Amino acid sequence: MTTTHTSTNTWPLERVLFAMAGTMALVSAGLAAFVSPWFLLLTAFVGINQWLYVAFGACPASIVLKKFGVTPQCGWR
């Protein structure tokens, strides 16, 4: 398995995106349970962005993170 990620002390882009998506899904589930069911729209937004990354190799969060210097590990694109 070859990777294009060179630094060993930073997380690659894919890992950061998974962490952000998981955190937002948990936060929105908690808010939906305790505040308002309308917070489930945040979960839907997270899912849509994950599919954007799968389909096109980029989502709004990945574009911003790349500008901050986070490098992708996957070399498919």
Reported as a single tens digit per residue, the pLDDT across 24-63 is: 999 999 999 999 999 999 999 999 999 988 898 888 888 8
pLDDT at 28: 96
pLDDT at 41: 96
Rg of the chain over all Cα atoms, to the nearest angstrom: 14
d(CA 71, CA 13): 6
Distances from the Cα of 56 to the Cα of 3, 28, 38, 60, 69, angstroms? 19, 25, 28, 11, 20
pTM of the predicted model as reported, rounded to 2 decimal places? 0.75
pLDDT at position 76, please?
58
Of 74 and 39, the one with more pLDDT: 39
With bands split at pLDDT 50, 70 and 90, how would you rate the model's confidence at 2? low
